[in-house]
Each structure stands twice: as C-alpha cells, then as structure tokens.
Amino acid sequence: MNVNKPTRGSDADSRIGKDVSYIKRMVRKVMGWWRYASVGVWSDTRQSMGVNLLKTVNLSVRSFLNGDLQSQSCAMTYRTLLALVPALALLFAIGRGFGFQSLMQGQLFRIFPAQHDVIEQALGFVDKYLSTASEGLFVGIGLVVLLWTIISLISNIEDIFNNIWGVRQGRSMWRKITDYTAMMLILPVLMVCASGLQILMTNTLQTFLHFQFLSPLVSVIVEIGSCALTWMFFTAVYMLIPNTRVKFKNACVAGVISGTGFLLLQWLFVSGQMYVARYNAIYGSFSFLPLLLVWCQLAWLVTISGAVLCYSSQSIFQFSFDNDIHNISEDYREKITLAIAAVVTQCYVRKMPPPTVLSIVTDYEIPIRLVTQITDRLVEAHVLSQVIIDKEAEIIGFQPAQPTGGLTVSYVRSALGSIGSSGFVPRFHMRFKGVESVVDQINRSVIASVHDLKLEDIQLDLIDASGRKAVQNRPSQERN
C-alpha cells in the first residue's frame, strides 16, 4: 500500500499561502481601523474616553490640514515683526514705571546670549521710539500709532481664533479698545513681575536654604513655577481672545500642551544661539535674523495649533455624523425639521421648559450641527422664536413664534419654502412655464393633504425634562 507523502514543495506552498492569507487579513483589519478612525468614528455615539480622544485627534488633524495654519503662522510672523518695536516700547515704558527696566534688559541678554550687539541696537531703537513718541508735536500721534499697532496685532490674533471656532462676529470696536488696552497694561506687568518673582524666589530660597544638596531642588521648583506661569498664560489666551465661551478644562489642556511646546522651542532657540555664535565671524549679526524668523513662525504655529486643539476637544460632539449631514437627503431633512418644530410646539402646549439646542441633541440624539442649522432656518421663517433662559450663561431656548392653532404642517412648509432668494433667473417663468405649473401643482396637492394637521397633533414621544421619561403624545381630538 502506497502512502502519498507531502513533498517539500507542497509544504512551502502551503506556508506561503498561509502567510499571504494572514497578510491579507492584517491589511483588511488595518484598513478597517483606518476607515473607522478617519470617517466611522463620527457615527459612534459612545461617550467613552477612547472615542472622544480619537475624535479630538481626528478633528485636530483635519483642522490643521484644512485651516492652512502654516500660511497663518507666516502672516503672523510678519505682523509680529512690524509690531515688535512698539511692543518692546510699551513693555519698557511700563517696566520703567515699576523700576524693572534693568531686569528686563538682563532677561533679554539671557534669552539671546550670543546677540548682545543686536539687543543693544534694538534697545537703542526702543529708546528713540519712546523719546519720539513723548516729545513735542508727536506725543499724541506717537501714542496713537503705538497703541494702534499693538491693537491691530491682537485683532489679527482674534480673527484667527474666531475663524477656528467658527465665530462670525468679532468684538465691536469699543470692546476691542477696552479689552485690548486692559490686556496690554496687565500682561506686560504680569510678565515683568513673573520674571522678578522667579529671580526673587531663587535668591530667597538659596539664602534660607544653605544646604548644598538642596540647590537642585530649588532649581526644579523654580523651573516648575516658570512652566506653570507659561501654561497659565496660554490657558488665558485660549479662554479670553476668542469671542465665544471657552471651557476652562479644554483651554487648560491646550494651554499645557502649547506651553510645553513653546518652552521647548525657547530652549532650542537659546541652544541655537549658542551654536551659531561661532558663525558670527562670517555672517555677523545677520545670523540672528533667520533664526529669529524661524523661531517666531514655529511659535505661532504652536500657538494656533493649540487653539485648534482647544476647539477640537470642546466641539467634537458638533461633528457627529458629519459625512451623513453633508450628504443628507431633502426628504430626511424635512422629517427632522418637522420633528424639531413639533417638539418645540408640544413642549409649549404642555407648559414644559423651552427646549434648547443641547436638550434636543441630548434627548433625541439628533446631531448638534443639524439641530443648529434647522433651528436657525425655523427662526428665520418665523416658525420658532428664541427665548432667553439664562442671560449670564447665554442659554437660549425655543418656543413657537405663532399661535399654536395656526402652526400646521402646510404653514411650516410654506414658510420654509419662502425664505431665501428666488426669481433672479432672467425670463425663467417664460421659458419654463410647464416646470412652474408642475411644481405649483405638487405643492398645492401636498399642502391640501396636510392642510389641517397641526404640529401639536403629530404623534411623538416627548422627553420629560424632570424625569427623563417618554411621554406619549395624543392628538388634540383624543384629548378633547
């Protein structure tokens, strides 16, 4: 009896087949994870830390790539150089008033150890600027130019942050003058005091602690204090500059990350100054300028990226079902529109609290971007009206803009169909008479079929705000 033994060639082919099959499975698994991380995660309604972290990273990368932050950082570098001398002039003017001018000069020489000549020239420019702005006929013009240059710089920063947050309207001119002036007077004082406090702590601790082995501990404490002040500065920037309400926890996380990146860039810049000092014999003081430009651009890139991270961490829930909302059908949009209008109307009839955008999102699991778009259109069509629930917290709810007896489905469709531009195509009604008649006939037939159907009579499950229990709605005829 002959037994067919497997040959070495068949074993090798079998192993190769298994390896190929394993590689294919791994490729499919990696592609599945990639599709989930890039697109599918926005359809995941779970509120776990991992899902929220993945959404934050996803949105940060998308915003970084789509927002053209590189160009914005280059533009801010140019504006910073224009406002550099006025900013230093304001800083030194305040420092002179507090007696910290020599301390500030020492800090500049410490940050730029290889550029004493450049710093002395810059300080000479600052002294000339201050003397020109404070003497004779130019005293008023010099102060106005100084303040306007710095206000313009901060205004550009606000515009970038507002664009990241999707804020359409910035501060008014009066608020810019008052808010920015306060920032220009307070922040330099804090910076000077922070530097003086750091030196004071170092000297004081070393005076009281005579033990040599405690010197490294003192250095660590001072460095941690310096990092904490930097983190607090970036946190305040992300909270105060955008013309919108930013939560502290989101601004704090972004401030810690951006502040750490900024300190790392500062360390690299100081190290780079020591490294390029040997080339000063060839390039002279010009070697300082390219490094300063690169550092300034990277610093702005870190700052703007932190603003994107702050926005992403606070607004991830706004991008749920983002692709589905972008490709939503008109039929489904109309269903959700009638559902939101019916919820607001029936809450008003039942004397329940006015629904807000957040309550509609939470109770009925409708994406917030879609709720915002639909409620804006319903308010514009005078179907709903806004009501202030909490003025300080800026909480706004919705209620019917018309008597509930006249809020029918046909009225809502007609009101929504009338908003927006129409009739602007030349001679359209003459060239497409048949199209207009067909569309008008369709609209009349639809309106006639639901002419008497009121929003308060549509059957739906209301969510009771107190007990979070479903309350079955009954038509008004059954209730009567």
Measured in whole angstroms, how far is the alpha carbon of residue 441 from the centre of its chain? 47
CATH code of the domain in which 398 resides: 1.10.10.10
DSSP classification of residue 408: B
> Do 268 and 343 share a structural domain?
no
> Do 219 and 174 share a structural domain?
yes
User: Of the ranges 222-231, 275-284, 392-401, which one carries the lowest mean pLDDT score?
Assistant: 275-284
Does the pLDDT at position 137 exceed 70? no
**CA dihedral sign, ordered 252, 253, 259, 262:** negative
> Do 183 and 79 share a structural domain?
yes
pTM above 0.85, yes or no: no
Which ranges of 112-247 does DSSP label H, i.e. alpha helix?
A: 116-133, 138-165, 173-208, 215-240
Phi-psi region of 187 (alpha: psi -120 to 50; beta: other; left: phi over 0): alpha
* 357, containing H or E segment: helix 357-364
> Do 255 and 118 share a structural domain?
yes
> Do 100 and 87 share a structural domain?
yes
Does a structural domain hold residue 163?
yes
Of 164-178, 268-282, 383-397, 457-471, which one has max mean pLDDT?
A: 383-397
* Domain stop point among 279, 295, 318: 318
Does a structural domain hold residue 29?
no
Q: What is the pLDDT of residues 73-95, one digit of tens each?
A: 888 888 887 777 666 666 666 66
Q: What is the pLDDT of residues 298-349, one digit of tens each?
A: 889 889 988 888 888 887 777 777 777 888 888 899 999 999 999 999 999 9
Structure-block tokens of residue 151: 């206000």
Q: pLDDT tier at 36 (50, 70, 90 boundaries)?
A: confident
Q: What pLDDT, on the 0 to 100 scale, is given for residue 400? A: 94
Neighbours of 407 (CB within 10 A): 22
User: Of the ranges 114-128, 152-166, 322-336, which one carries the lowest mean pLDDT score?
Assistant: 114-128
**CA dihedral sign, ordered 163, 169, 173, 179:** negative
**Is 55 in contact with 319 (CB distance < 8 Å)?**
yes
Q: What pLDDT, on the 0 to 100 scale, is given for residue 479? A: 45
Q: What pLDDT, on the 0 to 100 scale, is given for residue 156? A: 86
Domain residues for the domain of 187 are: 64-318
* Domain stop point among 303, 318, 333: 318
> Do 272 and 383 share a structural domain?
no
> Do 300 and 390 share a structural domain?
no
Residues 110-122, mean pLDDT to the nearest whole number: 61
Structure-block tokens of residue 261: 């990146």
Residues 448-454, mean pLDDT to the nearest whole number: 78
d(CA 274, CA 266): 13
Residues 460-467, mean pLDDT to the nearest whole number: 68
d(CA 252, CA 257): 9
Averaged pLDDT of the chain? 75
Which ranges of 419-466 does DSSP label H, i.e. alpha helix?
A: 428-431, 433-449
**Is 251 in contact with 235 (CB distance < 8 Å)?**
yes
**Is 368 in contact with 357 (CB distance < 8 Å)?**
yes
> Do 328 and 204 share a structural domain?
no
> Do 292 and 180 share a structural domain?
yes
Long-range contacts formed by 22-29: CB under 8 A, 24+ apart: none
